[in-house]
A and B are shown apart, each in its own frame.
Chain A
Amino acid sequence: MRKIFKLVALALPLLCGPARSQETLFDEMGGKTGIDHLVDISVDKYLADPRIKDIFSESNIDRIRSELKDQFCVVANGPCQYTGHSMAAAHKGLHLTNANFNALVEDLQDAMDECAIAFAVQNRFLARLAPMQHQVVTR
């Protein structure tokens, strides 16, 4: 019986995970360096993706990179400030579809794979981005 208690005591922290609080997402994504790298790789993918690259034809790509780095950092609860436009304002007039939005998600997932971010961590991050569909997709 005592053995079982010992096992449970050992297993509990494993089951609950190493402090799965919101604060760790930033660290699990590699901190500021990791997130900056992720944004650079993912933006390269958006610009090469025939499904969505035209959306960026009029955009200042350097500014998009820098704003996304701040935004991803904030979304992951990192120590950053996002001073860019609201999601609704940034995508106003682009007439984006769900297919556009999902294409971008797929590129981001590919980028996170390349950055060796674990799938479960990817999903915790994507879960925070997903509701932006309501502001980004306007048709």
Chain B
Amino acid sequence: MRLCVCVLFVGVGLWTAGAPARADEAWSWFDSGKLLATGGVSEIEGAGGGGLANWALITGYGTRDSLGANLYYTAVPLPDYSLQSAGAAIGLDDRLEVSYAWQEFDTENVGALLGLGHGFRFHQNIFGAKLKLMGDAVYDQDSWVPQISVGLQHKENDRAAVIAAVGGKQSVGTDYYLAISKLFLAQSLLVNATLRETKANQLGLLGFGGDKHNEYSSQFEGSIAYLLSRSFAIGAEFRTKPSNLSIAHEDDAWDLFAAYFFNKNLSATLAYTDLGNIVIRDHQQGAYLSLQAGL
């Protein structure tokens, strides 16, 4: 895994170092040349996207002749738990995206009930990469061809012993996904659909694979956003998840969101989300708040 991360970062380093030389004088650092909102916000696992769903769009405001980058913080306070996430992402030439996310899942009172201790916390680090394969979600308004990207998210959870105790099979796992995005500009609609191959239990916060099911399964995530203005979008997201653990039934998740883009440097997302059952607690519905700063 360390090797994976090293290779990824060396690759990005080479790409970045080679960029000004590779391109003609059109290349510049951080041109903030993309249109407002077209880099999306930060998905809970660090990728450019919506909140729960990945998009095919490359994060940040750098065009194909530049770089984009951002930082984010997201809090999801739920009735019986709380989830928070922070991370950073870079978009290179509007082609490749690399991201890092840290997640903390606080079990609050449930931790005490399960004998883990009040406020027992799971953490995971998520290293992501996304490559745009074809299409342009924004410009290709004269065809039905969407923007298509592939990506992966490598996740490392710090609670291997607890994960094993609840029936989880691994504390490390990698999700692979194919994402398509299309802006229907005449209708002011952005539509995204992603197919994810995953073994993750609750995004990986409860490990990967389980006593009930220990294979990869295909899951769907989608979102639709309606643009009310250049800086304001509302929409809905849906995400299916596997249910691999016999002690902890896992539900699909959805949310209704509003995202406001103050400018290309700051955006805020507010959502109402329903993550369903998490371990012994049903109806985990609550707010989703996220801030992204970047260029």
Partner-B contacts on A (CB < 8 A)? 95, 97-99, 102-103, 105-106, 109, 119-120, 123-124, 126-128, 130-131, 133-134, 139
Which chain B residues in 240-257 approach chain A with CB under 8 Å? Answer: none
Q: Is the CB of B138 within 8 A of A130?
A: yes
Among B65, B142, B228, B229, contact of A98 (Cβ-Cβ < 8 Å): B65
Residue numbers in B under 8 Å from A97 (CB-CB): 26, 33, 63, 65
B213 within 8 A of A: no
Closest Cβ–Cβ distance, residue B168 to chain A (whole Å): 45
Q: Is the CB of B141 within 8 A of A128?
A: yes
Q: Is the CB of B141 within 8 A of A127?
A: yes
Q: Is the CB of B188 within 8 A of A98?
A: no
Among B65, B94, B136, B186, contact of A124 (Cβ-Cβ < 8 Å): B186
Residue numbers in A under 8 Å from B33 (CB-CB): 97-99, 102-103
Q: Is the CB of B185 within 8 A of A127?
A: yes
Closest Cβ–Cβ distance, residue A95 to chain B (whole Å): 7
With A102-B35, A103-B33 as given contacts, are A126 and B63 in contact (CB-CB < 8 Å)? no
- Name 24 interchain pairs, CB-CB below 8 A, sorted by A: A95-B26, A97-B26, A97-B65, A98-B34, A99-B33, A102-B33, A102-B63, A103-B33, A105-B35, A106-B35, A119-B188, A119-B227, A119-B229, A123-B188, A126-B185, A127-B141, A127-B185, A128-B186, A130-B138, A130-B139, A130-B140, A131-B139, A131-B140, A133-B139
B197 within 8 A of A: no
Among B34, B141, B143, B228, contact of A102 (Cβ-Cβ < 8 Å): B34
- Please measure, in the bound complex, the distance between the C-alpha atom of A102 and the C-alpha atom of B35, giving whole angstroms: 6
Q: Is the CB of A123 within 8 A of B139?
A: no
Q: Is the CB of B35 within 8 A of A134?
A: no
Q: Is the CB of B185 within 8 A of A109?
A: no
- Please measure, in the bound complex, the distance between the C-alpha atom of A139 and the C-alpha atom of B26, giving whole angstroms: 8
Give the size category of B's interface with A.
20 to 34
Q: Is the CB of A123 within 8 A of B31?
A: no
Residue numbers in A under 8 Å from B228 (CB-CB): 119
Residue numbers in B under 8 Å from A130 (CB-CB): 138-142, 185
Q: Is the CB of B65 within 8 A of A127?
A: no
The 3 closest A-B pairs by CB, nearest first: A99-B33, A127-B185, A131-B142
Chain B window 214-234, contacts with chain A (Cβ cutoff 8 Å), 1 for yes, 0 for no: 000000000000011110000
Partner-A contacts on B (CB < 8 A)? 24, 26, 31, 33-36, 63-66, 94, 136, 138-143, 185-188, 227-230
Residue numbers in B under 8 Å from A127 (CB-CB): 141, 185-186
- Please measure, in the bound complex, the distance between the C-alpha atom of A106 and the C-alpha atom of B32, giving whole angstroms: 12
- Please measure, in the bound complex, the distance between the C-alpha atom of A97 and the C-alpha atom of B187, giving whole angstroms: 26
- Please measure, in the bound complex, the distance between the C-alpha atom of A105 and the C-alpha atom of B229, giving whole angstroms: 14
- Please measure, in the bound complex, the distance between the C-alpha atom of A128 and the C-alpha atom of B229, giving whole angstroms: 18
- Please measure, in the bound complex, the distance between the C-alpha atom of A120 and the C-alpha atom of B185, giving whole angstroms: 9
With A98-B33, A130-B141 as given contacts, are A120 and B188 in contact (CB-CB < 8 Å)? yes
- Please measure, in the bound complex, the distance between the C-alpha atom of A116 and the C-alpha atom of B230, giving whole angstroms: 14
Q: Is the CB of B185 within 8 A of A123?
A: yes
With A127-B141, A130-B141, A139-B26 as given contacts, are A98 and B230 in contact (CB-CB < 8 Å)? no
Residue numbers in A under 8 Å from B186 (CB-CB): 123-124, 127-128
Residue numbers in B under 8 Å from A102 (CB-CB): 33-35, 63
- Please measure, in the bound complex, the distance between the C-alpha atom of A32 and the C-alpha atom of B183, giving whole angstroms: 29
Closest Cβ–Cβ distance, residue B35 to chain A (whole Å): 5
Among A98, A103, A131, A139, contact of B141 (Cβ-Cβ < 8 Å): A131
Residue numbers in A under 8 Å from B143 (CB-CB): 131
Q: Which residue of B lies closest to A106 (CB)?
A: B35
- Please measure, in the bound complex, the distance between the C-alpha atom of A109 and the C-alpha atom of B230, giving whole angstroms: 9
Q: Is the CB of B66 within 8 A of A99?
A: yes
Residue numbers in B under 8 Å from A119 (CB-CB): 188, 227-230
Closest Cβ–Cβ distance, residue B37 to chain A (whole Å): 12
- Please measure, in the bound complex, the distance between the C-alpha atom of A105 and the C-alpha atom of B139, giving whole angstroms: 12
